[in-house]
Amino acid sequence: MTAPQEIHVVDDDPAVRDSLRMLLEAEGHAVRVYADAETFIAEGLTGGGPGCVVSDVRMPGLSGIDLLHVLQDRDIDMPLIVITGHADVSMAVQALKEGASDFIEKPFDEAVFMAAVNKALARSERAWVERRRLDGTLARANSLTPREYEVMVLVAQGLSNKAAAQELGISVRTVEIHRARVMEKMAADSLSALVRMVLELEESGRLVHDEDADEA
C-alpha cells in the first residue's frame, strides 16, 4: 500500500526555494514551494497522502515553529524539517524538542539534507500506511450490526459465549452466530487477531460504531 509522496518547501527567500526545488526534483521527488507558512496552510494541506515539509524557522508572519504547531493541532502526519541560519539555531533546537523531524543549518551539505528528507518521508509513509490500515479496520467495524458490535466488544473483553449471552440477555446460540459473523466481517482469522483490532481502535480513539446500522 503506497501513495505518491510530496515535499513542501516553505521559505520566504526565492533563491532558497528554487535551489531546494531543483535539488529535490533532481532526486526524483514531487515538490511544491510556498513563500510563507500561511500560503502553505491554505494550499498545501489538501492532498492527504504521505510527504514532509521543509520550512525556514524564521519567516515573516508564521514561523517554522508556528507551522509545526499547526500541523500538530490538526493531527497531520507530515514531518517537518526546519532549516536555519546560524543565529536561529536556538529556535531550531526548540522546534526539534517540540516535535520537528530534524533541523539543518545553512549553508547545508546536500547529502545531509537529503538524508533528513528521506528519513522524514519514510516516517510519513509508515504513518500513512498505519492510518489507512486503521481506516480499513474501522470501516469493517462499522459494517457490523449493533448486536454484532456488542458481541465483538464483549468477546474482545474476554467474555465467553455464555457470559456474553447473559450480559446481552440472548441465547448462547445467538451469540455464536453473531460471533461467527463478526469474525467474517472483520476478516479476523483468530480471536487474538480480533482482540488486537479492537484494542488498536480503542487506543486510537476510533472505536465508533454507526448506531443507525440495521439489526441482523
pTM of the model: 0.73
Domain ranges of the chain: 6-130, 142-203
- Model confidence over 134-162: pLDDT tens digits? 889 999 999 999 999 999 999 999 999 99
In this predicted structure, the answer to whether residue 175 has a pLDDT above a threshold of 90 is: yes
* 30-49 tens-digit pLDDT: 999 999 999 999 988 776 67
Give the residue-averaged pLDDT of 1-10. 80
**How many residues are present in the chain?**
216
At 70-101, the pLDDT tens digits run: 999 988 889 999 998 776 778 888 888 889 99
Judged by average pLDDT, the poorest of 66-80, 86-100, 170-184, 202-216 is 202-216
pLDDT of 87: 67
Given a cut of 50, is residue 211 above it in pLDDT? no
Under 8 Å CB-to-CB from 202, ≥6 apart: which residues? none
From the list 186, 184, 23, the residue with the least C-alpha distance to 109 is 23
Q: CA–CA distance from 17 to each of 5, 95, 152, 180, 202 (Å)?
A: 18, 21, 52, 57, 42
Selection from 63, 62, 57, 66 nearest residue 105 by Cα: 57
The class level of CATH for 142-203 reads mainly alpha
pLDDT at 216 (0 to 100): 40
Place of cell 465508533: 208
Bridge partners, residue 31, by sequence: 7
Classified by CATH at the fold level, domain 6-130 comes out as Rossmann fold (3.40.50)
Tell me, yes or no, if the two domains 6-130 and 142-203 fold the same way: no
Ordered strands of the 102-105 beta sheet: 30-34, 6-10, 51-56, 80-84, 102-105
Tell me the sheet residues that pair with 32: 8
Confidence of residue 214 (pLDDT cuts 50, 70, 90): very low
